[in-house]
Amino acid sequence: MKYTSIPKTDIRVSKICLGTMTWGNQNTQQEGFEQMDYALEQGVNFFDTAELYPVPANAETYAETERIIGKWFTQNNKRDKVVLATKIAGPGAYTAHIRTSGFTPASIREAIEGSLTRLKTDYIDLYQLHWPERTTNFFGKRDYAPDNEEQWEDNFQGILETLDGFIKEGKIRHIGLSNETPWGAMKCLALAAYKNLPRMKTIQNPYSLLNRTFEGGNAEVSHREELGLLAYSPMAFGVLSGKYRNGNLPKNSRLELFPRMARYNSQESLAATEAYAKIAEKNNLSLAQLSLAFVTDRPFVTSNIIGATTMTQLQENIASASVTLTTEILSEIDGVHKSIPNPAP
């Protein structure tokens, strides 16, 4: 396993991070336990979750993933072996069953205390804002358009001040963003520097062969400000595993179970996937190995968040950490990207 540090900290994390959002829905508690056991054995010491999980989110399964992780910690007493990240859910109709009050001090306290209780831990290593409160472009929205009806008022400083209190209490160690734009990231970083408040250390955004929009602005922020990318959906909801090629829709796959999660399944995405598959085959790699190795080795990526519903998938995904792509392969990848750029925003 390869390791790096969360920027501007002494916390060493594996370049592969174990994603958990299927536990409690597509995966049982026992399967979650098996995944955590195996990942830790293979050197993966970084686990990412959220109060929202599992997905798709609903009131019946709310926070079940955190509960599964907490039971695993209680059973094996390995909390000190894991760098643990979780998130407070952003506002909106999708999360109305959680709360409707946004990132107020009371909401943040409720979320942190709830996560600590469910995770059976006294502290969270990395606490993230799952998505912005304001109207902006994330979750597949390609372009920004002003919302003349928007009610949001700038509260970045208040959020940082609230999170600072929890850092001082010892309940969270570091903080991060998720699904954030370059403007939002720089706003947080500038305020932290100017007001002597905690600095965002990471940004968890989508990044894959089918979605390299992070490179359009956030990559420069990441590079110049040392804001590490925790890349999510590196397999594009499983599309880059190749299992949906030739019109296949495997039983119990994510797109079969949840058709509305078709963000990565456009005709352009499928065409790009075929082109990447040919590169992989030509170089004796699986499409999954090619896709994950590409993400893991980008200079702005702190850790690559992989998720799996089967142990076979998990084994292949973790093993991808040992794959290094040649300059020739990277050139071929860029050729496809230039012809079909970012088909899945």
Q: Where does residue 324 rank: exposed (0-12), middle (13-18), buried (19+ CB within 10 A)?
A: exposed
Residue where the block lists tokens 């358009």:
145
**Catalytic residue among 3, 53, 127, 207, which?**
53
Instruction: Tell me if 284 is assigned to some domain.
Output: no
Judged by DSSP in three states, 214 sits in helix
Q: Which residue from 115, 129, 110 is spatially nearest to 66, judged by alpha carbons?
A: 115
CATH code (residue 50): 3.20.20.100
Provide the angle, in degrees to the nearest 10, between the axes of the packed helices 64-76 and 29-41: 60
69-73, 145-149, 241-245: segment of lowest average pLDDT: 241-245
* Residue 124, domain extent: 3-242+296-321
Instruction: Round to the nearest angstrom and report the end-to-end CA distance of the chain.
Output: 30
Instruction: Tell me if 194 is assigned to some domain.
Output: yes
What is the pLDDT, as a whole number, of residue 38?
Answer: 98
Provide the angle, in degrees to the nearest 10, between the axes of the packed helices 105-119 and 156-169: 40
pLDDT of 117 above 70: yes
Instruction: Tell me if 188 is assigned to some domain.
Output: yes
Q: What is the domain count for the chain?
A: 1
Instruction: Tell me if 171 is assigned to some domain.
Output: yes
Instruction: Tell me if 256 is assigned to some domain.
Output: no
What is the pLDDT, as a whole number, of residue 198?
Answer: 98
Rounded average pLDDT over 324-328: 98
Instruction: Tell me if 7 is assigned to some domain.
Output: yes
Q: Could you count the other beta carbons within 10 Å of the beta carbon of residue 203?
A: 28
Residues 6+ apart with CB under 8 A from 260: 56
What pLDDT digit, counting tens, does each position of 80-102 carry? 999 999 999 999 999 999 999 99
What pLDDT digit, counting tens, does each position of 143-202 carry? 999 999 999 999 999 999 999 999 999 999 999 999 999 999 999 999 999 999 999 999
Q: CA-CA distances (angstroms) from residue 96 to 52, 89, 99, 109, 155?
A: 11, 10, 5, 17, 20
Q: Which residue from 115, 127, 119, 122 is spatially nearest to 171, judged by alpha carbons?
A: 122
Instruction: Tell me if 261 is assigned to some domain.
Output: no
Whole-number percent of the chain with pLDDT over 90 = 90
Judged by DSSP in three states, 232 sits in strand
Alpha helices per DSSP H over the chain: 29-41, 64-76, 105-119, 156-169, 182-195, 218-225, 254-257, 267-282, 287-296, 311-319, 327-339
Q: What is 94-148 written as a DSSP string? A: GGTTT-SS-S-HHHHHHHHHHHHHHHT-S-EEEEEE-S-SSS-S-TT--S----T
53 as an active site residue: the answer is yes
CA dist 185 and 181 (Å) reads: 6
Rounded average pLDDT over 215-233: 97
What is the pLDDT, as a whole number, of residue 253?
Answer: 59
Residues 6+ apart with CB under 8 A from 237: 254, 255, 261, 263, 264, 265
What is the pTM assigned to this prediction?
Answer: 0.95
CA dist 293 and 45 (Å) reads: 18
Q: What is 53-100 written as a DSSP string? A: -SSS--GGGTTHHHHHHHHHHHHH--GGG-EEEEEEPPPSGGGTTT-S
Instruction: Tell me if 329 is assigned to some domain.
Output: no
Contact between 14 and 2 under an 8 Å Cβ cutoff? The reply is yes
